[in-house]
Amino acid sequence: MTRFSYGPITQIPTTSPNVYAFRIKGHVDDDASEALAKFMNDVFDRQDKVNMLMDLSAFTGSDWDAMLDGDVLESRFRALKHVDRYAVIGAPDRAKKMIGLMDKIIPVEAKAFEVSGYSDAWTFVGAKSAEAS
């Protein structure tokens, strides 16, 4: 399967077929959010359970109205059923707090990691990066 890449979002190859990892560098606009949502909806059509890792260490922000896109909303709701573990590396402070809160109320085990905890995040999702060094 072809790796996902759209604007600031690039899929990171992993050592596990059920772990989907992405690196976000810069600002995520509506089109990038929608493209990732469509990609993950396709994944959810094919796989019952997956783990996800998001590397936000170079993330600079996103368009808030992207959350109102139909594909984005659909992927977020479907993630509640299809995602077991969700790791976020380098999340902004507000996002870290939200991840901590959501971990307590949704059926997804979610955890935020500092950039220094990069390898711990990969261990949490059960894979390693398969990127060429």
Q: Number of helices (H) and strands (E) in the chain: give both, helices first.
A: 4, 6
pLDDT for 1: 56
> What is this structure's pTM?
0.92
- Burial string for 25-63 (b: 16+ CB within 10 Å, else e) reads eeebbbebbbbbbbbbbebbeeeeebbbbbbbbebeebe
Domain formed by 5-125, architecture: 2-Layer Sandwich (3.30)
**CA–CA separation, 113 and 68 (whole Å):** 27
CA pair distance 121, 22, nearest whole angstrom: 13
Are 63 and 98 in contact, with CB atoms under 8 Å apart?
no
pLDDT category at 133 given cuts 50, 70, 90 is low
What is the mean pLDDT of the segment spanning 6-24? 98
Strands 83-89, 50-62: parallel, antiparallel or unpaired by DSSP? parallel
pLDDT digits (tens, 9 = 90+) for 104-128: 889 999 999 999 999 999 999 999 9
Return the number of other C-beta atoms located less than 10 Å from residue 79's C-beta. Answer: 20
The residue extents of the domains of the chain are 5-125
How sure is the predictor about 94, in pLDDT bands with cuts at 50, 70 and 90? confident
Mean pLDDT taken over the chain = 93
